[in-house]
Amino acid sequence: MGKLHKNPLRFHIGAILTILLAASLAASLTACRTATPPEAVQSQSIQPEASTKTPPTPVVSTEAASSASNPAATISPAIIPVETSSVQAQTLDAPDPDQAEAPVQIDFGTADLAIIRPGQLSRHTSPIRIIANLNTLLSLETEITLFGEDGRVLASKQLWSKPYNDPINGNLITDIEFSIPVVAETGRLEIKVFDSSGRIWALNSVYLILLSGGITDRNYAPENQDRILLQLPMAGQRQVNSSPLFISGMVRTQSDAPLTIWFIDETGTTVGEGQASVVLTPGSPYAQFVGEIPYQVSKSTNVLMTIGMQEGRIPGFTYIKTIEFTLLPGNN
């Protein structure tokens, strides 16, 4: 025993450390026993959300943060996002040939000789009531002829027009009779007017279906529009001194037969003659004509420029237009 307690101070320090260690271990065991169970902690941490959406968290760029912390730092220009829209190319459809645009209408003016009745391609039995209007206040000699489809003359008549102008009711009214040996055939009714010098002043015509019997079926659309429009020489240029004379214009036709042009003086003498070529325009009721007409006069001469056109199977001119000109000796 004396050997165990040889150093009493070391003995007392060891005892004290042992007691402190035992007390610390007991306190730790007590704390573990009295701690809150995990289920309770979890139930206390779950709280109902005030909103189903979480408010966005503001994002602060590092540049802004560094600028705020360092005012002397260089401020970079703000970059504003620009919304770009995509541009789509539009595809243009090819025009439908079945829906082609209507041709431009050209005003040719009123014909000097308008046929009010019968209209083009009327189906007619005998007799035929003819109503026409001459665009003049003069009483002029008129010749009416009905041709068969082979060019033979079926009927003809001469008379004078009334000295007034009536585009609605006409100033030339008459009947003409005919007979054909077949049930039906194509015919052409021609009206020709002469001036006081015996020159052709105007000619107009319509194609008809001639019937030996049955019921007349009239077309009431009048043939009262001019069919030839002279553009060169211009309207105010009615005195010319250049031979050959260059002419051009437009014509309402579906035939490319050339136009025939004469210069006829007051005695009925032809002082110039030629032809103008006709150029058709596909899909258009109008065609262009152009030509050079030579003439020969020794002095100033008043003439009628007479322009004749031909259409259809029946021979002869179907339309004639005349224009007054003064020809001077030509400078070739």
pLDDT tens for each residue of the chain, 332 residues long: 444 445 555 555 666 666 666 666 665 555 555 544 544 444 444 444 444 444 455 444 444 444 444 444 444 555 555 455 554 555 555 556 555 566 677 888 999 999 999 999 999 999 999 999 999 999 999 999 999 999 999 999 999 999 999 999 999 999 999 999 999 999 999 999 999 999 999 999 999 999 999 999 999 999 999 999 999 999 889 999 999 999 999 999 989 999 999 999 999 999 999 999 999 999 899 999 999 999 999 999 999 999 999 999 999 999 999 999 999 997 75
CB 123 within 8 A of CB 209: yes
Predicted pLDDT at 28:
58
Instruction: Please tell me the predicted confidence (pLDDT) of residue 30.
Output: 56
With contact defined as beta carbons under 8 Å apart, do 134 and 165 qualify? yes
For residues 283 and 310, the answer to whether their CB atoms sit within 8 Å is no
* pLDDT of 107: 85
Cβ within 8 Å of residue 214, ≥6 positions away? 125
Dihedral, 63, 67, 69, 70 alpha carbons, nearest 10: 130
pLDDT the model gives residue 145: 98
Pair of tokens at residue 156: 């003809």
Taking the C-alpha atoms of residue 130 and residue 117, their distance in angstroms, rounded to an integer, is 5
- The residues with which 203 forms a beta bridge, in sequence order, are 192, 320
Report d(CA 305, CA 264) in Å as an integer.
7
Report the candidate in 116, 187, 117 with the shortest Cα–Cα distance to residue 153: 187
pTM for the model stands at 0.69
Q: Please name the residue ranges forming H helices in the chain.
A: 8-34, 38-45, 62-69
Distance (Å, whole) CA 195 – CA 303: 12
* CA 164, chain centre distance (Å): 42
Residue 3, amino acid: K
Give 148's Cβ-side CA count (13 Å radius). 16
Nearest CA among 198, 211, 185 for reference residue 143: 198
